[in-house]
A and B are shown apart, each in its own frame.
Chain A
Amino acid sequence: DQQVKQNSPSLSVQEGRISILNCDYTNSMFDYFLWYKKYPAEGPTFLISISSIKDKNEDGRFTVFLNKSAKHLSLHIVPSQPGDSAVYFCAASWNTDKLIFGTGTRLQVFP
């Protein structure tokens, strides 16, 4: 039972355009959400997070949106750069319990 789902295994975006990565979850108790970025041959690194009391969090080119009623969150990258090409994982937790990760989306930003 996959509680956190990333239905798009891959996404290809032109440099300068917006990248939108999506994540859906099934457990309405989740209260903290994170996005991680992973380059080949490296461990995932934390990118941005949002708590359930907010619906948006912004950090530079990265913005995470949370729609609790739809149990959906998204990561927007504007403008996309070639260095953003990586695998992106969303993750969720509740009541400071363990993180549950999605299956990942591979983003490719081409010139």
Chain B
Amino acid sequence: EAQVTQNPRYLITVTGKKLTVTCSQNMNHEYMSWYRQDPGLGLRQIYYSMNVEVTDKGDVPEGYKVSRKEKRNFPLILESPSPNQTSLYFCASSLSSGGTQYFGPGTRLLVL
């Protein structure tokens, strides 16, 4: 089954404790992206990757890091989480950057 998976689905952490949210896709997509969804703000892009070892900032990259060492994986790293990063996070992948994106189920993060 073609899908995008994210782990964990739910996470409660404390300020400053490094965390990683994993994302994996099995569709051989070149383009992957991370979004956060906040009330009244819709989906905002954090980082994206056009291909392996190629990543770039989206609209709200501050406080986040990513890596793309393999085509299928695109982890999101919060080196020192802060309460304003409490949000719902989605990973997505697509054949190309402007095409139809397939989203993971989401990771709800609470930073205390």
B42 touches A89 (CB 8 A): yes
Please give the distance in Å from A84's CB to the nearest CB on chain B.
19
Contacting residue for A44 out of B41, B43, B99, CB 8 A = B43
A98 CB contacts on chain B under 8 angstroms: 33, 45, 48, 58, 97-98
Whether B100 contacts A102 by the Cβ 8 Å rule is no
Q: Count of chain A residues with Cβ under 8 Å from any Cβ of B?
A: 25
CB-defined contacts of B92 to chain A, threshold 8 Å: 43
Whether A103 contacts B41 by the Cβ 8 Å rule is: yes
Q: Is the interface of A mostly helix, strand, loop or mixed?
A: loop
CB neighbours (8 Å) of A25 from chain B are: none
Output the nearest chain A residue to B3 by Cβ-Cβ distance.
A43
- Asked whether any CB of chain B lies closer than 8 Å to the CB of A99, the reply is yes
Q: Does B74 contact A (CB under 8 A)?
A: no
- Does any Cβ of B come within 8 Å of A34's Cβ? yes
Using a CB–CB distance below 8 Å, which chain B residues touch chain A?
4, 33, 35, 40-45, 48, 58, 90, 92, 96-106
Could you list some 19 contacts between A and B, CB below 8 A? A9-B40, A32-B99, A34-B100, A41-B105, A41-B106, A42-B105, A43-B104, A43-B105, A46-B101, A49-B100, A93-B98, A96-B99, A98-B58, A98-B98, A99-B98, A101-B42, A101-B43, A101-B44, A103-B40
